[in-house]
Amino acid sequence: GYISIKKDSKLIGSNTLAYAKKKKLFGSIVYSEIFIRPGSQNLNLLLEHELGHSLGFGHKDILGHIMYPKYDMMGEKFTLP
């Protein structure tokens, strides 16, 4: 499979900074596409968060966690479930 990263100009003016879509077949991820709003703040943080989704991780309700659902409250912490 593969993971692609693309800019999505349709996100300009929206509250969404980035999102990931993935295709699964028989429980395995075939590919994932990450879409980033052009001009987004911290690209490294957004990409790490969206790569987490691409690999199957969901949001975590832990302030400062990389998978926290709100950008301004996420951080670089990472813990496995």
Answer whether residue 9 shows pLDDT above 70. Answer: yes
Cα(24)–Cα(29) distance, rounded to whole angstroms? 4
Does residue 7 have a pLDDT over 80?
A: yes
Q: What is the pLDDT of residue 40?
A: 66
Residue 69 has pLDDT above 80, yes or no: yes
Say how far residue 13 (Cα) sits from the centre of its chain: 18
pTM of full prediction above 0.75: yes
